[in-house]
Chains A and B, each alone.
Chain A
Protein backbone atom coordinates (compact mmCIF):
# COMPACT_ATOMS: atom_id res chain seq x y z
CA UNK A 1 0.00 0.00 0.00
CA UNK A 2 1.03 3.59 -0.53
CA UNK A 3 0.97 5.91 2.45
CA UNK A 4 2.13 9.38 3.31
CA UNK A 5 4.24 10.01 6.38
CA UNK A 6 5.18 13.46 7.64
CA UNK A 7 8.62 13.29 9.22
CA UNK A 8 10.06 16.46 10.76
CA UNK A 9 7.68 18.54 8.71
CA UNK A 10 8.46 16.89 5.39
CA UNK A 11 5.80 14.80 3.72
CA UNK A 12 7.00 11.67 1.99
CA UNK A 13 5.07 9.06 0.09
CA UNK A 14 6.25 5.55 0.85
CA UNK A 15 5.35 2.03 -0.17
CA UNK A 16 4.70 -0.15 2.86
CA UNK A 17 3.25 -3.52 3.63
CA UNK A 18 0.02 -3.17 5.65
CA UNK A 19 1.61 -4.83 8.66
CA UNK A 20 4.87 -2.89 8.58
CA UNK A 21 6.13 -1.37 11.81
CA UNK A 22 6.90 2.35 11.91
CA UNK A 23 10.47 1.87 13.20
CA UNK A 24 11.32 -0.42 10.29
CA UNK A 25 9.78 1.92 7.72
CA UNK A 26 11.55 4.98 9.10
CA UNK A 27 14.94 3.25 9.02
CA UNK A 28 14.29 1.76 5.58
CA UNK A 29 13.57 5.27 4.33
CA UNK A 30 16.86 6.55 5.74
CA UNK A 31 15.68 8.05 9.03
CA UNK A 32 18.54 6.33 10.79
CA UNK A 33 18.51 8.55 13.88
CA UNK A 34 15.56 6.44 15.02
CA UNK A 35 17.15 3.36 16.50
CA UNK A 36 15.88 -0.05 17.43
CA UNK A 37 16.84 -2.35 20.25
CA UNK A 38 14.31 -4.35 22.23
CA UNK A 39 11.45 -4.26 19.67
CA UNK A 40 9.01 -4.83 22.54
CA UNK A 41 8.42 -1.27 23.71
CA UNK A 42 10.56 -1.67 26.80
CA UNK A 43 13.76 0.29 26.19
CA UNK A 44 12.64 3.60 24.65
CA UNK A 45 15.47 3.76 22.13
CA UNK A 46 13.01 3.90 19.23
CA UNK A 47 10.98 6.79 20.68
CA UNK A 48 9.55 9.28 18.20
CA UNK A 49 7.01 12.00 18.80
CA UNK A 50 3.65 11.46 17.18
CA UNK A 51 1.76 14.76 17.19
CA UNK A 52 4.08 15.81 20.00
CA UNK A 53 3.62 12.77 22.20
CA UNK A 54 6.29 10.11 22.70
CA UNK A 55 5.53 6.66 21.33
CA UNK A 56 7.49 3.46 20.83
CA UNK A 57 7.88 3.27 17.07
CA UNK A 58 8.72 -0.43 17.38
CA UNK A 59 5.15 -1.12 18.49
CA UNK A 60 3.32 1.13 16.06
CA UNK A 61 1.97 0.14 12.70
CA UNK A 62 3.37 2.47 10.07
CA UNK A 63 -0.09 2.80 8.52
CA UNK A 64 -1.37 4.13 11.84
CA UNK A 65 1.11 7.00 11.71
CA UNK A 66 -0.25 8.27 8.38
CA UNK A 67 -1.74 11.73 8.78
CA UNK A 68 0.14 12.40 12.00
CA UNK A 69 3.25 14.52 12.51
CA UNK A 70 6.31 12.37 13.28
CA UNK A 71 9.24 14.09 14.96
CA UNK A 72 12.65 12.49 15.31
CA UNK A 73 15.64 13.93 17.13
CA UNK A 74 16.75 15.63 13.90
CA UNK A 75 13.52 17.59 14.01
CA UNK A 76 14.33 18.92 17.48
CA UNK A 77 17.65 20.56 16.72
CA UNK A 78 20.69 20.36 14.48
CA UNK A 79 24.41 20.35 15.11
CA UNK A 80 24.52 23.98 14.06
CA UNK A 81 21.44 24.96 16.02
CA UNK A 82 21.00 22.50 18.87
CA UNK A 83 17.95 22.49 21.08
CA UNK A 84 18.61 23.55 24.71
CA UNK A 85 18.02 19.94 25.71
CA UNK A 86 20.74 18.73 23.38
CA UNK A 87 23.15 21.34 24.73
CA UNK A 88 22.26 20.51 28.31
CA UNK A 89 22.72 16.77 27.76
CA UNK A 90 26.26 17.41 26.50
CA UNK A 91 27.14 19.93 29.19
CA UNK A 92 25.84 17.73 32.00
CA UNK A 93 27.59 14.54 30.93
CA UNK A 94 24.24 12.95 30.13
CA UNK A 95 25.60 11.45 26.90
CA UNK A 96 28.09 8.63 26.89
CA UNK A 97 27.68 5.92 24.26
CA UNK A 98 24.80 7.93 22.84
CA UNK A 99 22.67 5.06 21.61
CA UNK A 100 19.65 5.89 23.77
CA UNK A 101 19.97 9.66 23.49
CA UNK A 102 17.66 10.34 20.52
CA UNK A 103 14.83 8.66 22.40
CA UNK A 104 15.72 10.33 25.68
CA UNK A 105 15.83 13.80 24.09
CA UNK A 106 12.42 13.27 22.51
CA UNK A 107 10.86 12.05 25.76
CA UNK A 108 12.34 15.05 27.55
CA UNK A 109 11.08 17.42 24.86
CA UNK A 110 7.54 16.09 25.17
CA UNK A 111 7.80 16.55 28.92
CA UNK A 112 9.03 20.16 28.72
CA UNK A 113 6.44 21.06 26.09
CA UNK A 114 3.81 20.04 28.62
CA UNK A 115 5.52 21.08 31.84
CA UNK A 116 8.19 23.81 31.54
CA UNK A 117 9.30 23.45 35.17
CA UNK A 118 9.26 19.76 36.09
CA UNK A 119 10.59 18.49 39.41
CA UNK A 120 12.71 15.34 39.71
CA UNK A 121 9.69 13.11 40.10
CA UNK A 122 8.01 14.50 37.00
CA UNK A 123 11.21 14.03 35.00
CA UNK A 124 11.60 10.44 36.18
CA UNK A 125 7.98 9.73 35.25
CA UNK A 126 8.22 11.54 31.92
CA UNK A 127 11.33 9.59 30.95
CA UNK A 128 10.49 6.25 32.51
CA UNK A 129 10.40 4.64 29.06
CA UNK A 130 14.00 5.45 28.29
CA UNK A 131 16.68 3.10 29.49
CA UNK A 132 20.27 4.33 29.68
CA UNK A 133 22.98 1.92 30.74
CA UNK A 134 25.83 4.47 30.69
CA UNK A 135 24.91 7.60 32.56
CA UNK A 136 22.97 6.25 35.52
CA UNK A 137 20.12 8.71 34.88
CA UNK A 138 21.11 11.37 37.40
CA UNK A 139 22.98 13.39 34.76
CA UNK A 140 19.98 13.18 32.47
CA UNK A 141 17.70 14.52 35.18
CA UNK A 142 20.14 17.38 35.80
CA UNK A 143 20.30 18.02 32.05
CA UNK A 144 16.52 18.24 31.73
CA UNK A 145 16.34 20.65 34.67
CA UNK A 146 19.13 22.78 33.15
CA UNK A 147 17.40 22.83 29.75
CA UNK A 148 14.09 23.73 31.36
CA UNK A 149 15.73 26.63 33.20
CA UNK A 150 17.42 27.84 30.01
CA UNK A 151 14.17 27.64 28.07
CA UNK A 152 12.27 29.53 30.76
CA UNK A 153 14.93 32.21 30.71
CA UNK A 154 14.64 32.46 26.91
CA UNK A 155 10.90 32.96 27.25
CA UNK A 156 11.37 35.77 29.75
CA UNK A 157 13.96 37.61 27.66
Chain B
Protein backbone atom coordinates (compact mmCIF):
# COMPACT_ATOMS: atom_id res chain seq x y z
CA UNK B 1 0.00 0.00 0.00
CA UNK B 2 1.01 3.54 -0.54
CA UNK B 3 -0.13 6.28 1.74
CA UNK B 4 -3.74 5.46 2.54
CA UNK B 5 -5.81 8.60 2.18
CA UNK B 6 -9.23 7.18 2.99
CA UNK B 7 -10.79 4.33 4.95
CA UNK B 8 -14.32 4.01 3.68
CA UNK B 9 -16.99 2.00 5.52
CA UNK B 10 -19.27 0.71 2.76
CA UNK B 11 -22.93 0.67 3.77
CA UNK B 12 -23.84 -2.11 1.33
CA UNK B 13 -22.28 -4.36 -1.28
CA UNK B 14 -23.57 -2.09 -4.05
CA UNK B 15 -22.09 0.94 -2.31
CA UNK B 16 -18.73 -0.87 -2.05
CA UNK B 17 -18.69 -1.82 -5.73
CA UNK B 18 -19.64 1.69 -6.87
CA UNK B 19 -16.90 3.19 -4.74
CA UNK B 20 -14.37 0.67 -6.04
CA UNK B 21 -15.34 1.38 -9.63
CA UNK B 22 -14.99 5.11 -9.16
CA UNK B 23 -11.47 4.68 -7.81
CA UNK B 24 -10.42 1.76 -10.00
CA UNK B 25 -7.05 0.32 -8.98
CA UNK B 26 -6.57 2.89 -6.20
CA UNK B 27 -9.16 1.07 -4.07
CA UNK B 28 -9.06 -2.26 -2.28
CA UNK B 29 -11.75 -4.13 -0.37
CA UNK B 30 -11.02 -4.91 3.27
CA UNK B 31 -12.45 -8.17 4.53
CA UNK B 32 -10.01 -9.45 7.13
CA UNK B 33 -7.31 -7.15 5.79
CA UNK B 34 -4.45 -9.61 6.37
CA UNK B 35 -3.25 -9.76 2.78
CA UNK B 36 -3.52 -6.00 2.35
CA UNK B 37 -1.21 -5.41 5.29
CA UNK B 38 1.23 -8.17 4.44
CA UNK B 39 1.51 -7.48 0.73
CA UNK B 40 1.22 -3.76 0.35
CA UNK B 41 0.25 -2.35 -3.01
CA UNK B 42 1.69 1.12 -3.47
CA UNK B 43 -1.12 2.02 -5.87
CA UNK B 44 -3.87 1.56 -3.29
CA UNK B 45 -4.89 4.76 -1.53
CA UNK B 46 -8.46 3.95 -0.44
CA UNK B 47 -9.58 1.01 1.66
CA UNK B 48 -13.21 -0.05 1.41
CA UNK B 49 -14.31 -1.85 4.56
CA UNK B 50 -16.96 -4.53 3.99
CA UNK B 51 -17.73 -5.07 7.68
CA UNK B 52 -21.12 -3.33 7.47
CA UNK B 53 -22.33 -5.17 4.37
CA UNK B 54 -23.82 -8.17 6.16
CA UNK B 55 -21.56 -10.80 4.64
CA UNK B 56 -20.69 -12.95 7.66
CA UNK B 57 -23.51 -15.48 7.74
CA UNK B 58 -23.17 -19.20 7.02
CA UNK B 59 -26.48 -20.87 6.24
CA UNK B 60 -28.02 -23.87 4.57
CA UNK B 61 -30.14 -23.18 1.51
CA UNK B 62 -31.93 -25.32 -1.08
CA UNK B 63 -28.79 -25.09 -3.22
CA UNK B 64 -26.29 -26.07 -0.55
CA UNK B 65 -24.38 -24.07 2.04
CA UNK B 66 -23.93 -20.34 1.57
CA UNK B 67 -20.85 -18.91 3.26
CA UNK B 68 -20.76 -15.13 3.49
CA UNK B 69 -17.54 -13.63 2.17
CA UNK B 70 -16.60 -12.23 5.58
CA UNK B 71 -16.98 -15.53 7.44
CA UNK B 72 -13.62 -16.26 9.03
CA UNK B 73 -11.90 -19.61 9.03
CA UNK B 74 -12.74 -19.97 12.72
CA UNK B 75 -16.41 -19.26 12.06
CA UNK B 76 -16.34 -21.86 9.30
CA UNK B 77 -14.75 -24.41 11.62
CA UNK B 78 -17.51 -23.81 14.20
CA UNK B 79 -20.36 -23.94 11.67
CA UNK B 80 -22.63 -26.94 12.25
CA UNK B 81 -23.77 -27.17 8.60
CA UNK B 82 -20.15 -27.16 7.47
CA UNK B 83 -19.22 -29.77 10.06
CA UNK B 84 -21.59 -32.10 8.23
CA UNK B 85 -20.76 -31.07 4.67
CA UNK B 86 -18.49 -33.47 2.74
CA UNK B 87 -17.99 -35.35 5.99
CA UNK B 88 -16.68 -32.24 7.67
CA UNK B 89 -13.56 -31.63 5.59
CA UNK B 90 -14.10 -27.88 5.11
CA UNK B 91 -14.83 -27.24 8.79
CA UNK B 92 -11.98 -29.47 9.92
CA UNK B 93 -9.34 -27.78 7.82
CA UNK B 94 -10.68 -24.26 8.29
CA UNK B 95 -9.88 -24.83 11.96
CA UNK B 96 -6.34 -26.03 11.31
CA UNK B 97 -4.68 -24.12 8.49
CA UNK B 98 -2.74 -20.91 9.19
CA UNK B 99 -2.62 -20.20 12.93
CA UNK B 100 -5.10 -19.35 15.64
CA UNK B 101 -4.90 -15.55 15.34
CA UNK B 102 -5.02 -15.65 11.58
CA UNK B 103 -7.94 -18.07 11.50
CA UNK B 104 -9.94 -15.35 13.24
CA UNK B 105 -8.90 -12.80 10.64
CA UNK B 106 -8.74 -14.62 7.31
CA UNK B 107 -12.07 -14.54 5.52
CA UNK B 108 -13.23 -16.99 2.88
CA UNK B 109 -13.97 -14.12 0.51
CA UNK B 110 -10.47 -12.74 0.93
CA UNK B 111 -8.94 -16.16 0.37
CA UNK B 112 -10.86 -16.56 -2.88
CA UNK B 113 -10.43 -13.00 -4.12
CA UNK B 114 -6.69 -12.95 -3.40
CA UNK B 115 -6.12 -16.60 -4.41
CA UNK B 116 -2.52 -16.77 -3.32
CA UNK B 117 -0.72 -19.88 -4.64
CA UNK B 118 -0.09 -21.16 -1.12
CA UNK B 119 -3.70 -20.85 -0.04
CA UNK B 120 -5.19 -24.05 1.40
CA UNK B 121 -8.88 -23.20 1.20
CA UNK B 122 -9.12 -22.36 -2.50
CA UNK B 123 -7.95 -25.78 -3.79
CA UNK B 124 -10.29 -27.53 -1.40
CA UNK B 125 -13.21 -25.36 -2.48
CA UNK B 126 -12.28 -26.05 -6.11
CA UNK B 127 -12.36 -29.80 -5.46
CA UNK B 128 -15.82 -29.40 -3.93
CA UNK B 129 -17.01 -27.52 -7.04
CA UNK B 130 -17.74 -24.34 -5.09
CA UNK B 131 -19.58 -21.45 -6.70
CA UNK B 132 -18.93 -17.77 -6.07
CA UNK B 133 -21.58 -15.10 -5.52
CA UNK B 134 -20.15 -12.05 -7.24
CA UNK B 135 -21.36 -8.49 -7.53
CA UNK B 136 -20.04 -6.45 -10.41
CA UNK B 137 -22.29 -5.09 -13.17
CA UNK B 138 -24.89 -7.40 -11.70
CA UNK B 139 -25.18 -10.05 -9.04
CA UNK B 140 -24.34 -13.50 -10.35
CA UNK B 141 -23.16 -16.90 -9.24
CA UNK B 142 -20.29 -18.44 -11.16
CA UNK B 143 -18.19 -21.57 -10.71
CA UNK B 144 -15.10 -20.82 -8.63
CA UNK B 145 -12.83 -22.05 -11.43
CA UNK B 146 -14.42 -19.54 -13.81
CA UNK B 147 -14.17 -16.72 -11.27
CA UNK B 148 -10.47 -17.38 -10.76
CA UNK B 149 -9.86 -17.27 -14.52
CA UNK B 150 -11.75 -14.09 -15.24
CA UNK B 151 -11.67 -12.02 -12.05
CA UNK B 152 -12.08 -8.26 -12.54
CA UNK B 153 -10.66 -5.70 -10.18
CA UNK B 154 -13.88 -4.17 -8.89
CA UNK B 155 -15.79 -7.47 -8.70
CA UNK B 156 -16.87 -8.08 -5.12
CA UNK B 157 -16.99 -11.61 -3.74
CA UNK B 158 -20.20 -11.69 -1.69
CA UNK B 159 -20.00 -15.33 -0.71
CA UNK B 160 -19.30 -18.93 -1.58
CA UNK B 161 -21.83 -21.64 -2.31
CA UNK B 162 -20.94 -25.23 -1.56
CA UNK B 163 -23.31 -27.18 -3.77
CA UNK B 164 -25.75 -29.65 -2.29
CA UNK B 165 -24.58 -32.26 -4.79
CA UNK B 166 -21.37 -32.70 -2.79
CA UNK B 167 -22.91 -32.60 0.68
CA UNK B 168 -22.51 -36.37 1.14
CA UNK B 169 -19.22 -36.68 -0.72
CA UNK B 170 -15.92 -37.33 1.03
CA UNK B 171 -13.61 -34.32 1.16
CA UNK B 172 -9.87 -35.02 1.38
CA UNK B 173 -7.14 -32.51 2.06
CA UNK B 174 -3.43 -33.27 2.30
CA UNK B 175 -0.79 -30.62 2.84
CA UNK B 176 2.91 -31.05 3.37
CA UNK B 177 4.43 -28.47 5.68
CA UNK B 178 7.44 -28.17 7.97
CA UNK B 179 5.18 -27.08 10.84
CA UNK B 180 1.40 -27.13 10.99
CA UNK B 181 1.32 -23.35 10.67
CA UNK B 182 3.57 -23.24 7.64
CA UNK B 183 2.38 -22.74 4.09
CA UNK B 184 2.41 -26.00 2.17
CA UNK B 185 5.15 -27.24 -0.11
CA UNK B 186 2.37 -29.12 -1.84
CA UNK B 187 -1.37 -29.30 -1.32
CA UNK B 188 -3.70 -31.99 -2.68
CA UNK B 189 -7.45 -31.81 -2.26
CA UNK B 190 -10.03 -34.25 -3.52
CA UNK B 191 -13.73 -34.86 -3.49
CA UNK B 192 -14.83 -38.47 -3.84
CA UNK B 193 -18.34 -39.82 -4.32
CA UNK B 194 -18.26 -43.42 -3.17
CA UNK B 195 -21.31 -45.62 -3.50
CA UNK B 196 -21.32 -49.35 -2.69
CA UNK B 197 -17.56 -49.51 -3.01
CA UNK B 198 -17.32 -47.75 -6.35
CA UNK B 199 -15.98 -44.24 -6.98
CA UNK B 200 -18.85 -42.60 -8.81
CA UNK B 201 -17.12 -39.29 -9.25
CA UNK B 202 -13.72 -37.87 -8.31
CA UNK B 203 -12.22 -34.42 -8.40
CA UNK B 204 -8.53 -33.88 -7.61
CA UNK B 205 -6.92 -30.45 -7.24
CA UNK B 206 -3.24 -29.72 -6.63
CA UNK B 207 -2.08 -26.48 -5.03
CA UNK B 208 1.24 -25.05 -3.90
CA UNK B 209 2.84 -26.48 -7.06
CA UNK B 210 4.28 -23.74 -6.38
CA UNK B 211 1.87 -22.02 -8.78
CA UNK B 212 -1.85 -21.53 -8.27
CA UNK B 213 -4.13 -24.46 -7.60
CA UNK B 214 -5.02 -26.48 -10.65
CA UNK B 215 -7.68 -29.08 -11.26
CA UNK B 216 -6.40 -32.43 -12.51
CA UNK B 217 -9.15 -33.86 -14.73
CA UNK B 218 -6.90 -36.58 -16.15
CA UNK B 219 -6.15 -37.95 -12.70
CA UNK B 220 -9.76 -37.55 -11.60
CA UNK B 221 -11.16 -39.42 -14.60
CA UNK B 222 -8.81 -42.36 -13.99
CA UNK B 223 -10.55 -42.99 -10.68
CA UNK B 224 -14.13 -42.46 -11.78
CA UNK B 225 -16.14 -45.66 -12.15
CA UNK B 226 -13.55 -47.86 -10.44
CA UNK B 227 -13.91 -49.81 -7.22
CA UNK B 228 -12.00 -48.54 -4.22
CA UNK B 229 -8.91 -50.73 -4.38
CA UNK B 230 -5.23 -50.48 -5.14
CA UNK B 231 -5.77 -51.40 -8.79
CA UNK B 232 -7.73 -48.16 -9.22
CA UNK B 233 -5.25 -45.93 -7.43
CA UNK B 234 -1.94 -47.43 -8.62
CA UNK B 235 -2.09 -45.96 -12.15
CA UNK B 236 -3.13 -42.58 -10.74
CA UNK B 237 -0.17 -42.53 -8.36
CA UNK B 238 2.16 -43.74 -11.08
CA UNK B 239 1.08 -41.19 -13.70
CA UNK B 240 0.65 -38.16 -11.44
CA UNK B 241 4.24 -36.98 -11.83
CA UNK B 242 3.78 -36.76 -15.60
CA UNK B 243 0.26 -35.32 -15.62
CA UNK B 244 0.54 -32.62 -12.97
CA UNK B 245 2.68 -29.59 -13.57
CA UNK B 246 4.79 -29.09 -10.45
CA UNK B 247 7.96 -27.03 -10.34
CA UNK B 248 10.83 -25.58 -8.36
CA UNK B 249 10.97 -22.69 -5.99
CA UNK B 250 13.30 -21.69 -3.16
CA UNK B 251 11.67 -24.16 -0.80
CA UNK B 252 11.55 -27.36 -2.85
CA UNK B 253 12.45 -28.83 -6.21
CA UNK B 254 9.99 -30.13 -8.75
CA UNK B 255 11.36 -33.65 -8.21
CA UNK B 256 10.66 -33.35 -4.49
CA UNK B 257 7.15 -32.10 -5.18
CA UNK B 258 6.53 -35.04 -7.51
CA UNK B 259 7.49 -37.37 -4.65
CA UNK B 260 5.12 -35.45 -2.38
CA UNK B 261 2.39 -35.79 -4.98
CA UNK B 262 2.77 -39.57 -4.94
CA UNK B 263 2.64 -39.52 -1.14
CA UNK B 264 -0.52 -37.40 -1.20
CA UNK B 265 -2.26 -39.73 -3.65
CA UNK B 266 -1.19 -42.75 -1.62
CA UNK B 267 -2.81 -40.94 1.28
CA UNK B 268 -5.95 -40.51 -0.82
CA UNK B 269 -6.01 -44.26 -1.45
CA UNK B 270 -5.70 -44.92 2.28
CA UNK B 271 -8.41 -42.35 2.96
CA UNK B 272 -10.79 -44.05 0.51
CA UNK B 273 -10.03 -47.45 2.03
CA UNK B 274 -10.74 -46.02 5.49
CA UNK B 275 -14.03 -44.63 4.24
CA UNK B 276 -14.95 -48.12 3.03
CA UNK B 277 -14.24 -49.58 6.46
Interface string of A1-30 (1 = CB under 8 A from B): 100000000000000011101000000000
Q: How many residues belonging to A are interface residues under a CB distance threshold of 8 Å?
A: 28
One of A18, A41, A61, A125 near B101 (C-beta < 8 A)? A41
Chain B residues with CB below 8 A from A56, complex form = 101-102, 105
B 31-56 contacts with A by CB, 8 A:
33-34, 36-38, 47, 49, 51
Q: Taking the complex as formed, is B181 at the interface, i.e. its CB lies under 8 A from any CB of chain A?
A: yes
Which residues between 110 and 154 of chain A lie within 8 Å of chain B, taking CB atoms?
A: 125-130
Q: Is B7 in contact with chain A by the CB < 8 A criterion?
A: yes
**A21 with B101: CB separation less than 8 A:** no
Minimal Cβ-Cβ distance residue in A for B37: A59
Distance in angstroms from A121 CB to nearest chain B CB is: 11
CB contact between B1 and one of A19, A40, A58 (< 8 Å): that residue: A19
Complex CA gap A107/B99 in Å reads 11
Report how far A71 CA is from B254 CA in the complex, Å: 46
CB contact list, B1-48 vs A, under 8 A: 1, 3-7, 30, 33-34, 36-38, 47
Contact A54 B101 (CB under 8 A): yes
Q: Does chain A have a CB within 8 A of B74? A: yes
Most buried by B among A50, A61, A107, A130: A61
User: Contact: A40 with B38, CB < 8 Å?
Assistant: yes
Instruction: Write out the residue numbers on chain B whose beta carbons fall within 8 Å of the beta carbon of A59.
Output: 33-34, 37-38, 102, 105
Residue pair B33, A125 in contact (C-beta under 8 Å):
no
- Asked if B4 contacts A44 (CB within 8 A), the reply is no
Given A55-B104, A60-B105, CB of A128 within 8 Å of CB of B47: no
Which residues on the B side are within 8 Å of A1 (C-beta)? 7
A59-B103 Cα distance, complex, nearest whole Å: 12
A53 at the interface (CB under 8 A from B): yes
Q: Given A18-B4, A128-B99, check contact A53 B74 (CB 8 Å).
A: yes
